[in-house]
Amino acid sequence: MSENQAADTARELPDTTTAHNARVWNYWQGGTDNYEVDRQVGDHVAGLIPVIRHIASADRRFLVRAVRHLAEERGIRQFLDIGTGLPALENTHEIAQRVAPSSRIVYVDNDPIVLAYARTRLTSTEEGAAAYIDADAHDPDTILRVAGETLDFGEPVALMLLGILNFVLDDAEARAICHRLLEPLAPGSFLVLTHPTTEPEFGGELQLEAMEFWNAHAKPPVTARGGAEVARYFDGLTLLEPGLVPCSLWRADPGDEPTVVPQLGAVARKP
C-alpha cells in the first residue's frame, strides 16, 4: 500500500478514541450512530448544561420548519446544507422533495463517517438531486465551486448553516465565511442559521463551562457568541418574522410548548 493510500484509508476510519461532534449530537438526539467515548462526553456535558438534549432536538425541528416554509411558501427548490451531520429522521432533501420532488440539495461535511452514512442513507427522488461534498467550512470557495455542479446559482438557493459557524473560533473569519457563501447566490436566496449563544436571558451562561470541557475532551473545538455577534451574519439581509430568537421559538408548530434554549436561529432573505 502506498503512503497516499495508507493516509486515505486512515482518514476513512472513524476515530473512536476521541468524542466527535456529529456523533455526540446524534447521541443527544437519541440516535445510535455513536461510540462509548461519545456517550461519555455527551453525558458529562449534559450534566453541565442539562438543556443540551433540548438544544439538539430544537435545532433539528427548526431545520424541519425552516425548510418546509421555504419549500412550501417561498418556492425554494435548491438547498446548500453545510455541516450536514449524521442523517436524522427528517433530512433537508426529504422535507424539500416531499413538497417539490424536483428540489436539488447539496450536503457538505468533512467527517468521513458522516459522508459514508450520507451516501448510503440519503437518496434523492429521480426528479431531483442530492449530492455530497467532502469539504471544510473554512474553505467556502471549494464548496461553492463543487456545489455549482449541482445547483444553479442564477436561481435562489437556501444556504443552511445550522450549528456550524460555532466551530469557526475567530469572529471575523466566521462572518467572512458566511458572507462569502452568500455572495454568489441569486437575489431571493435565503440564509438559514443557528448558533449557540452566551445570552444569559436564554441560559447561555451554562454554555461556557460545558464548552470548556468539550474543547478539552472532544473535537472540533467550539464557541458560543452573543446575540449581537450572531446578528451580524444577517447584515444586508431581511429577517423573516419573528427575527433572531431561540431556535425552539422560531415559528413553533401549533400546540408546541417549546423549551427556551440558548441556541439562536433565524431565516433571512437576500434582497
Does residue 102 carry a pLDDT above 60? yes
Tell me what pLDDT residue 20 has. Answer: 80
Q: What pLDDT was estimated at residue 2?
A: 43
Please tell me what DSSP assigns to residue 131. E
Q: Does pTM surpass 0.75?
A: yes
243 phi and psi, to 5 degrees?
A: 85, -150
Q: Out of 8-22, 104-118, 150-164, 213-227, give the one with best mean pLDDT.
A: 150-164
Name the band, by pLDDT with cuts 50, 70 and 90, for residue 121. low
Secondary structure element (H or E) that encloses residue 211, with its range: helix 206-217
**Does the pLDDT at position 4 exceed 80?**
no
Residue 17's pLDDT is 80
Q: Is the pLDDT of residue 178 over 70?
A: yes
CA 117, 122, 126, 127 torsion-angle sign: negative
Average pLDDT over residues 52-70: 94
Q: Would you state the cell numbers that stand for residue 18, as one nine-digit string?
A: 476521541
Confidence of residue 13 (pLDDT cuts 50, 70, 90): low
pLDDT for position 234: 98
pLDDT at 11: 46
**pLDDT cut 90: percent of the chain above it:** 64
- What pLDDT was estimated at residue 45? 87
Which pLDDT does position 249 carry in this prediction?
A: 97
**Pairing between strand 129-134 and 158-162?**
unpaired
Handedness of CA 40, 34, 193, 170 (dihedral sign): positive
Q: For all residues of the chain together, what is the average pLDDT?
A: 89
Confidence at 122, pLDDT banded by 50, 70, 90: low
Taking 70 as the threshold, does the pLDDT of residue 14 lie above it? no
| 29 confidence band (pLDDT: 50, 70, 90) | confident
Cβ-proximal residues to 203 (8 Å cutoff; 6+ apart), any chain: 49, 51, 260, 261, 262
The reported pLDDT for the residue numbered 145 is 98
CA distance 197 to 208: 10
Q: Where do we find the cell 468521513? A: 112
- Checking 224-232 for CB contacts under 8 A at 24+ apart, the result is 224/166, 224/195, 224/196, 224/197, 224/198, 224/262, 225/166, 225/171, 225/195, 225/196, 225/197, 225/198, 226/197, 226/198, 226/199, 227/197, 227/199, 227/264, 229/171, 230/193, 230/195, 230/197, 230/264, 232/175
pLDDT computed for residue 180 by the predictor: 98
Cα–Cα nearest to 108, from 75, 81, 89: 81
Rounded to whole angstroms, the Cα distance separating 262 from 50 reads 12
Q: Which residue has the cell 464548552?
A: 211
Residue 82 has pLDDT above 90, yes or no: yes
User: For the CA atoms of the chain, what is the radius of gyration?
Assistant: 18
